Structure 1
Amino acid sequence: MMRRLAAALTLVLGLTPAAWSSDATHTILRWDDLNGWAEDDHGAALDTFLNTCRDMRDPDWAALCRAAKVQTNARAFFELFFRPVMIEDGKRTLFTGYFEPELRGSRYRGGPYQYPLYRLPEEAKDGPWLSRAAIEASGALDGRGLEIAWIDDPVDVFFLQIQGSGRVKLDDGSALRVGYGGKNGHEYRSIGQELVRRGEYEAHQVSAQVIRNWVRRNGEEGRELLQHNPSFVFFREVSKVPWDKGPLGAMNRSITQMRSIAVDPKYVTLGTPVWIEKGGRDPLKRLMIAQDTGSAIKGAQRADIFYGTGTKAGLRAGRIKDGGRMITLMPIQRAYAMAGQI
């Protein structure tokens, strides 16, 4: 019955598969149910929405994008055309943070620059390929001219693969930016959770910096820990993104520091405004735009907050592991349809 209803809604209302999931509940809230809504900078959120709404092909979203371009009151725009909807799948809310790393590298191998960033090989394009451990043990990528750059730290390369994009300052004074180019088809496996399983740390102690330090302290055992994650990410050089803009997200547009989040597109359509109420040591109540995805971002109440570029952003992002709630802003007719009120 739920599948037939989903199909009917898709046909009648033009709902994309990402906007419908039969294992989730949808509850419409009032605007005054959103803690801190009135105090936010809605104009900043609207600017971020405009950066990607032009790429949303569905007619409803295209109409909203046209309306957004002529708005003089951003808060009124969101309140007039959207309704806040709580989407829940029975899992607890989890907010984490991510950032765009800056690495040191060279176009050529030599000296400290021994760890490559690879382009996607042909044989990895059509489905599951070699695991991380198999790639490193077999030398399957050696001598094929797939190297974009050589980096001075293997741990930085690993975390760049998790982040999916980054900037490289080259030894000749120039720089380049790389973006996600594909993967080997293996599911991401958390090495932080593996450290907890081994009894090295308690769950609340694990952060990106803690993992970095452990790997660097433990030599060969540290290298083997990285291989616990079989997923291996390949890159492409991104030359058309201005240096002062954020990296490209899943919508192939620059994402915005502290206004863009990565979500699970099974539950939230990319480009959608999402209100977040993050708890923890550094609480955050803010209207964000869902402009990215991630292999570890699974669930209706799961989001990764983009904290910006560089070391400071990385330190902030690495500390985030907080609860709270996230509320999706949906076009009015869709909101009532999803909540079963039409």
Structure 2
Amino acid sequence: MTCRVHTATRAIAILLALAPMPIGATSSPLAAEPLPLQPVANQRLTDDLGRDDRIPSDRAALLLAIDRSLGYLDTPASVAAYQDYPVPGITRARVRRSLVRFRQLVQQTSSPEELQAAVRREFVFYRAAGSDGQGTVAFTGYYEPVFAASRTRTADYRYPLYRRPADFEQWQSPHPARADLEGRHGTGAGSPLAGSELAWLRDRLEAFLVHVQGSATLRFPDGSSTSITYHGKTDRPYASIGKELVADGHLTRDELSLPAVLAHFRSRPADLSRYLPRNESFVFFQEAPAASPLGTLSVPVTADRSIATDKSLMPPGALALIHTQIPDFDATGALMTPTVSRYVLDQDTGSAIRGAGRVDIFLGRGTAAGARAGEIDWTGELYYLIVSE
């Protein structure tokens, strides 16, 4: 059973409360005691757990996400990632066998109920310890925004996004602050990054939101487009601009929300130069040929089928099952928030995704995905499915 909590979506988390967690950002290693995952006897599982009613409509997307994880599990990086994985019974080889078998079942079964029954017969459910040791997991959502951009600076497109400098590894610590890199007003005036501009946006707040999400699709005036993804960040500390607005009395804690923060800056654009530099952390980007943004496993993430977790605790690329509320639109365009079971692949992480009680769900690209991501604010449960020996 899920319940409403005062956590935040990815965008809200960055703007309001938490540390940045762009796609591709890595989390710091954390102690794995007690074990983050424990096997659960089938008789202790609720009747609806594992009945994924979305599969008939997006079976192909689920199979694609599985294939992407299988591709990752064949890489040397996956061998290294699983070398010292702490949970008994979960190995790279067994995770891979689990994906192969689950893929067969997705293709062979004809209904969500039939797949659920087969999974319960053949798989062991490992439940995440959660934030309280009792399995309570906080769920948030993230997406890839789509913004108008230009390859060159113009009178309309004045706010740059930057490539990672070639000499970035040689930068002395502490790195320059945000204001030093993009200028006090975000236009790059006097920036040491001059010449590393990847693209320019026409809205400063949109440029900041790309830093928040860690990826974006950019559409150019000639009709062409490209995807950009996270490619590193500075070592400067993060500061929440939402908290700064509350501290200065512009919003109360109860009023704090992403729409409220955006509305403040839309009505008082001069405040961007006052508040955005307070977040000294700065993100670099690279162009990505993939149709979807890349997760930390260097495979594209799949809408509604990829999640981000703390990879110092959770098995990378593995098959997982989430049980929480996930928003979607009905036939009339109204937003619903049903509690669902959803089979997903663990393919991403972020610097604010820490511990066994946090999951971020990738919901796709564009405005509709952003609207859905903005609604995810609940707790639930996270399981990993490992084929029986």
Report deviation, 1:45: 4.2
Is the 8 Å Cα contact of residues 95 and 386 (structure 2) preserved in structure 1? no
Query: Where does 1:1-342 land on structure 2 (aligned, <5 Å)?
Result: 21-24=32-35, 26-31=37-42, 33-34=45-46, 36-41=48-53, 43=59, 45=62, 47-56=64-73, 57=78, 58-71=92-105, 72-73=108-109, 75=116, 76-77=118-119, 79-90=121-132, 93-125=137-169, 128-137=174-183, 141-142=191-192, 144-203=194-253, 205-239=255-289, 241-242=290-291, 246-279=292-325, 282-285=337-340, 286-330=342-386
Tell me whether 128-137 or 300-309 shows the greater mean CA deviation. 128-137
Q: In the TM superposition, what whole-angstrom CA distance separates every residue of 1:2-30 from its partner, at most 9, and x where no partner exists? A: xxxxxxxxxxxxxxx98981145543324
Is the 8 Å Cα contact of residues 84 and 329 (structure 1) preserved in structure 2? yes
Within 2, Cα distance between the matches of 1:266 and 1:35?
Answer: 31
Is the 8 Å Cα contact of residues 95 and 318 (structure 2) preserved in structure 1? no
- What letter corresponds to residue 60 of structure 1 in structure 2? R
Report deviation, 1:112: 1.2
Is the 8 Å Cα contact of residues 83 and 332 (structure 1) preserved in structure 2? no
Within 1, Cα distance between the matches of 2:241 and 2:386?
Answer: 35
- What letter corresponds to residue 49 of structure 1 in structure 2? I
Q: Sort the Cα spacing of 1:18 and 1:29 in 2 relative to 1 into closer, same or farther, 3 A.
A: farther
- What letter corresponds to residue 370 of structure 2 in structure 1? G
- What letter corresponds to residue 176 of structure 1 in structure 2? T
Within 1, Cα distance between the matches of 2:248 and 2:142?
Answer: 25
Q: Sort the Cα spacing of 1:104 and 1:38 in 2 relative to 1 into closer, same or farther, 3 A.
A: same
TM-score with structure 2 setting the length? 0.70
Is the 8 Å Cα contact of residues 259 and 306 (structure 1) preserved in structure 2? yes
RMSD: 3.0
Within 1, Cα distance between the matches of 2:50 and 2:94?
Answer: 26
Whose relative contact order is higher, 1 or 2, with alpha carbons under 8 Å and at least 6 apart? 2
- What letter corresponds to residue 229 of structure 2 in structure 1? G
Within 1, Cα distance between the matches of 2:177 and 2:215?
Answer: 20
Is the 8 Å Cα contact of residues 185 and 231 (structure 1) preserved in structure 2? yes
Within 1, Cα distance between the matches of 2:138 and 2:366?
Answer: 23
Is the 8 Å Cα contact of residues 201 and 207 (structure 2) preserved in structure 1? yes
- What letter corresponds to residue 258 of structure 1 in structure 2? D
- What letter corresponds to residue 51 of structure 1 in structure 2? R
Which secondary structure does the structure 2 equivalent of 1:320 belong to? coil
TM-score with structure 1 setting the length? 0.79
Report deviation, 1:305: 1.4
Q: In the TM superposition, what whole-angstrom CA distance separates every residue of 1:311-340 from its partner, at most 9, and x where no partner exists? A: 12112212322222323334557xxxxxxx
- Could you say which residue in structure 1 is the equivalent of 2:329? none
Please, which runs of 5 or more residues in structure 1 have no aligned partner? 1-16, 334-342
- Could you say which residue in structure 1 is the equivalent of 2:21? none
Is the 8 Å Cα contact of residues 99 and 318 (structure 2) preserved in structure 1? no
Within 2, Cα distance between the matches of 1:272 and 1:311?
Answer: 29
- What letter corresponds to residue 132 of structure 2 in structure 1? G
Please, which runs of 5 or more residues in structure 2 have no aligned partner? 1-27, 79-91, 110-114, 327-335
Q: In the TM superposition, what whole-angstrom CA distance separates every residue of 1:16-58 from its partner, at most 9, and x where no partner exists? A: x989811455433244624632431465645422321331233
Is the 8 Å Cα contact of residues 132 and 230 (structure 1) preserved in structure 2? yes
Q: In the TM superposition, what whole-angstrom CA distance separates every residue of 1:111-155 from its partner, at most 9, and x where no partner exists? A: 210011100013433565222233234856456321111111111
Which secondary structure does the structure 1 equivalent of 2:226 belong to? strand
Which secondary structure does the structure 2 equivalent of 1:88 belong to? coil
Which secondary structure does the structure 1 equivalent of 2:207 belong to? helix
Report deviation, 1:78: 7.0
Which secondary structure does the structure 1 equivalent of 2:126 belong to? strand
Kindly tell me the number of residue pairs found equivalent between the two proteins: 313
- What letter corresponds to residue 61 of structure 1 in structure 2? V
